[in-house]
């Protein structure tokens, strides 16, 4: 396997959002970081958006409320955000924020609260025509939603929809591993696979230059190392903090361009997630390994090389063939999913087999709309891919 990228792949450009003013990380850092960030932003009153389980079954939200109350900055907490951020909860959140008198929002939890906050501030701006409300993200999963400029939510028809704007990026992010300790094991580990999905698919996205791929390789290596450690010892704060940093590396820095789904695995996941109620972390457990295997057949030479190079960072020997190295990466991802106890089937997730052609076509349409090469999106082959994970 050649260790060198082609000359063509060494040309390009990149732009990113500079909206984030600060990222704080470290176990226990929220106590000092949140007041410091509020001072930095000039915030007076804070409105918290979270999910019901996080508020009622853990002390995470109570801890953040206490910090805000000690600084006389607490306004209210809205905890009606469900999985995949249904739009009804977003509408109620808008009204609750307006009544609270707050000037900033803090999203606490996984991808759904983070995306819901983006959708809330997007709709408020559309209604008022004024500036976007600033928000802080305090993630408790590894989904990496806080590093994107888009918000995904479920519309009235039950379909995944999105809004995008550079101003939707959080103004600040706090990565405190202690706050992730109550996160259910399956949610924690599966969102780690979701972030791994980001890192792997970024290896063959056209807008990702070589220096950022180096971050993705590092993230991939850390996910393979620390996810099993975190499963074996859920109280290991070092492993949890390293996984939060790997999640950051998997999709950083924020892209200015609107690019839609990262790749075919994400596109399939979006169609499966909201429609059939499958958590996005689990959709990545289903789709990532078979999509990488599919890329061994259809990807460009440069994209295959980028995928194959991941073996070096995983300290795995090359097979001597780029195509076979890509397949080996697919097998390693599948093995990781199995070792983490996250193996699933589409049938087990309640997806009717007769829906597979429609799912494939919807995912293909999404990818074609953002410029994915048509030669890599052959419908019968994508249907076959879905059939391979059906049962």
* pLDDT tens readout for residues 130-141: 999 999 999 999
Tokens encoding 98: 């307006």
pTM confidence score: 0.93
What confidence score (pLDDT) does residue 372 get?
84
CB within 8 A of 235, min separation 6: which ones?
A: 181
Residue numbers in the chain where pLDDT is lower than 70:
1-5, 7, 9-18, 253-261
Distance CA 381, CA 391 (A): 17
What 3-state DSSP class applies to 64?
helix
CA 391 to chain centre: 26
What confidence score (pLDDT) does residue 2 get?
46
pLDDT in tens, 310-355: 999 999 999 999 999 999 999 999 999 999 999 999 999 999 999 9
What confidence score (pLDDT) does residue 8 get?
72
Distance CA 338, CA 350 (A): 20
CB atoms within 10 A of CB 380: 9
Tokens encoding 151: 């918000």
CB within 8 A of 114, min separation 6: which ones?
A: 107, 137, 139, 143, 145, 146, 170
Q: To 5 degrees, how large is the angle CA 118–CA 85–CA 76?
A: 65
Cβ burial of 192 (10 Å; 0-12, 13-18, 19+) is buried
Task: Tell me the torsion sign for CA atoms 15, 21, 26, 27.
Answer: negative
What confidence score (pLDDT) does residue 84 get?
77
């Amino acid at each position: 396997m050649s260790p060198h990228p082609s000359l063509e792949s060494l040309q390009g450009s990149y732009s990113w959002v500079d909206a984030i003013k600060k990222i704080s990380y470290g176990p226990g850092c929220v106590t000092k970081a949140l007041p410091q960030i509020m001072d930095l932003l000039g915030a007076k009153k804070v409105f918290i958006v979270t999910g019901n389980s996080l508020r009622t079954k853990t002390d995470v939200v109570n801890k953040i409320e206490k910090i805000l109350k000690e600084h006389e900055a607490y306004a209210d907490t809205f905890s009606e955000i469900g999985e995949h951020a249904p739009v009804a909860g977003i509408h109620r959140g808008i009204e609750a924020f307006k009544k609270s008198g707050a000037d900033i929002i803090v999203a606490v939890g996984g991808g759904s609260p983070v995306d819901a906050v983006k959708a809330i501030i997007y709709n408020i701006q559309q209604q008022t025509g004024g500036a976007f409300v600033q928000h802080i993200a305090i993630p408790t999963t590894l989904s990496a939603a806080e590093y994107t400029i888009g918000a995904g939510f479920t519309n009235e028809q039950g379909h995944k929809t999105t809004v995008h704007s550079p101003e939707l990026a959080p103004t600040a992010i706090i990565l405190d591993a202690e706050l992730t300790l109550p996160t259910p094991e399956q949610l924690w580990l599966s969102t780690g696979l979701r972030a791994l999905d980001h890192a792997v698919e970024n290896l063959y996205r056209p807008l990702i230059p070589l220096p950022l791929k180096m971050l993705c390789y590092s993230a991939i290596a850390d996910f393979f190392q620390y996810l099993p450690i975190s499963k074996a010892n859920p109280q290991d704060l070092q492993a949890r903090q390293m996984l939060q940093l790997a999640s950051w590396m998997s999709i950083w820095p924020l892209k200015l361009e609107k690019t839609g789904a990262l790749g075919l695995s994400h596109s399939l996941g979006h169609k499966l997630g909201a429609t059939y109620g499958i958590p996005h972390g689990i959709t990545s457990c289903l789709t990532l390994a078979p999509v990488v295997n599919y890329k061994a057949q259809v990807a460009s030479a440069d994209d295959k090389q980028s995928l194959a190079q991941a073996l070096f960072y995983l300290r795995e020997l090359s097979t001597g063939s780029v195509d076979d190295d890509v397949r080996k990466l697919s097998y390693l991802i599948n093995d990781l999913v199995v070792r983490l106890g996250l193996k699933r089937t589409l049938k087990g997730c309640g997806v009717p087999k007769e829906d597979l052609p429609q799912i494939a076509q919807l995912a293909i349409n999404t990818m074609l709309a953002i410029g994915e090469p048509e030669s890599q999106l052959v419908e019968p082959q994508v249907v076959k891919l879905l059939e391979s994970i059906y049962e």
